[in-house]
Structure 1
Amino acid sequence: MAADTAFRWTALGAGTTVLLVLALILVTMIRQAWPAWSELGASYFFGTEWIPSQGKYGILPLVYGTLVVSLIALVFAVPISIGISLFVTEVAPEWLRRPVVTTVDLLAAVPSVVFGLWAFYNLLPGFQAVFNNIASAVSSIPVLNVVFGPSTGSSFMSAGLILALMITPIITSVTREVFLTVPENDKSGALALGATRWEMIRGVVFPHSFGGMTGAVMLGLGRAMGETVAVALVIGAVPQISLNLFGVGETMPAQIFRQLSEAGSTLRSALIGLGVVLLVLTILVNISARRAVVAVDRRFKGAP
């Protein structure tokens, strides 16, 4: 009884500590951001120009850049990560499985600044050529000629591709472990009933793993939204709302990284406000993902 009571209070204390730390971070940052919010009002949250030298602190271009770059990263990273995980758990022979897993885990440990420097010096010239070739090919096609316009190399797409490379190991590692939890009896039963390997994966592995896969994607999204140095080196540092994915842009973490060390009081407060917005966005994304997981699990389990 005493041991159970001690365990209960220890667990309660640990959970409460996490909530208190999160609340402390939010309260502290909101207090430091409040001067900018009170001075700028709604223009801070809904303004479309971020030009500190002119006293303009509208964060929408930075929010837009953060979301666009993160979504581009997910579009490329998620299918690749799921493919690698399926290959490792369902297809690869044992002698090949270990080298692939080791390589993926090593990629996850590479510092972001290394990815950024490599991309800046080695990939941007190639990106510029490829993006401009694509832009020329679709220049006469409505809509596409806006989405895929001229490029200098630094762009939303460049940042998204680098982020995709960085978050793929994270999503892959978690997804792989989730796939390994699927009961072998369920998979063997599906194959024994005449299902092909793909039908078994689609009908057994994916439904069983959906919650874990969503969690893996959310981990990747959190890394993508918060990434700083690598994005700052390849995105172009021009806060703007542009439909041209090959055009330059900026993200919230990158702007904080560039400006904070030399910021005056108003700019510093505005930058801390960006941190609050980024934290709130991350929390909202995770809450939404959790609700989606619960809804889909209920559907698969036949709950009303």
Structure 2
Amino acid sequence: MNSDKIAKAVLFLASVIILLIAGGMIYSLVEGSIPAFKNFGLSFIWSNNWNPTRNQESYGALPFIAGTIITSVAALLISLPLSFSTSLFLGEYYRGTRLAKVLGTMVDLLAGIPSIVYGLWGFYVLRPLLIDLGLPNQGFGIFPASIILAIMIIPYATSLSTEIITMVPGELKEAAYSLGATRMEVIFSVIVPSARSGIVAGYILSFGRALGETMAVTMLIGNANRIPESFFGTGNTMASVIANQFGEADGLKLSALIAIGLLLFLITGIINSAGKLIIKRME
């Protein structure tokens, strides 16, 4: 057997293993969530009742779906102008300079910090600051959770966007400059249109990370099992309720938590698929 056949066999085996792992994850989630859907049906998805009292158990995923979507969308909106501006700074305005290299290294470092560290910073620094500014609920809630999520995904989105911006061919920019275009015109008429599919992909990946974030959100969101009353109210996300209650859960409650995990898996898959369609249309 020559080296090409060996390489082909190894690559095929690796691909099969990945498929088996993905299939095993889906199977275990579906199997574990069957009791919850048998008891509550599809109303489990839009029910907002969460009552773990034995013999009166009733579970619904809507409060956690709402908390997840609200915090993730808010984090993306907060992070977008900051990460986009920083990526232009690194990838175009100060590209190749010592300042850009130092700042780029810091961005990469921040992207690799564990989420629990962000959570600790949010709890001991951001939360007291928001309390001093008069935020209700002792500084817990959707708003601080969204801020900490935004801070977490800014380095991730910035790093991806910077890489895409630096890949725009120099010939395109030089042609625009030769026609008398200003720096700003080159950025928004040449660089951004050329790199937009990659930039959008970076933000979709960042949004996916925000959807599944657990520890940092758990430490700040307030962990209230209800639909948030306002942007400054307390709530819970799909990931945080699983992290908080999975260890002590059994029976129907355990199945309900697994069903929430399955829904989170499906939501993430839908968003990623929608992102791919958007990127294809933008190319």
Normalising to structure 2: TM-score of the pair? 0.92
User: Quick one: percent identity of the two aligned structures?
Assistant: 35
Q: Which residue of 2 aligns with 1:267?
A: 253
Q: Which residue of 2 aligns with 1:203?
A: 189
Distance 1:234 1:88, change over 3 A: same
Counterpart contact for 1:152–1:247, Cα < 8 Å: no
Spell out the pairing of 1:134-283 with structure 2 (5 A cutoff). Answer: 150-283=136-269
Counterpart contact for 1:105–1:169, Cα < 8 Å: yes
User: Which region of structure 1 is more displaced relative to structure 2, 7-16 or 111-120?
Assistant: 7-16
Question: Counterpart of 1:52 in 2: which secondary structure?
Answer: coil
Q: Distance in 1 between matches of 2:81 and 2:229?
A: 24
Q: Distance in 1 between matches of 2:20 and 2:200?
A: 26
Give unmatched runs, 5+ long, in structure 2: none
Q: Which residue of 1 aligns with 2:27?
A: 27
Q: Distance in 2 between matches of 1:287 and 1:233?
A: 30
| Offset of residue 51 of structure 1 | 2.8
Q: Which residue of 2 aligns with 1:122?
A: 125
| Offset of residue 170 of structure 1 | 0.8
Q: Which residue of 2 aligns with 1:43?
A: 43
Count, aligned residues:
280
State the Cα RMSD in Å. Answer: 2.0
Q: Which residue of 2 aligns with 1:67?
A: 69
Q: Distance in 2 between matches of 1:109 and 1:276?
A: 27
Structure 2 counterpart of 1:287, one-letter code = S
Q: Distance in 1 between matches of 2:198 and 2:17?
A: 25
User: Which region of structure 1 is more displaced relative to structure 2, 59-68 or 191-200?
Assistant: 191-200
Q: Which residue of 1 aligns with 2:103?
A: 100
Structure 2 counterpart of 1:191, one-letter code = Y
Q: Distance in 1 between matches of 2:51 and 2:117?
A: 29
Q: Which residue of 2 aligns with 1:91?
A: 93
Q: Distance in 2 between matches of 1:291 and 1:4?
A: 35
| Offset of residue 16 of structure 1 | 4.1
Counterpart contact for 1:65–1:239, Cα < 8 Å: no
Distance 1:165 1:295, change over 3 A: same
Q: Distance in 1 between matches of 2:130 and 2:51?
A: 28
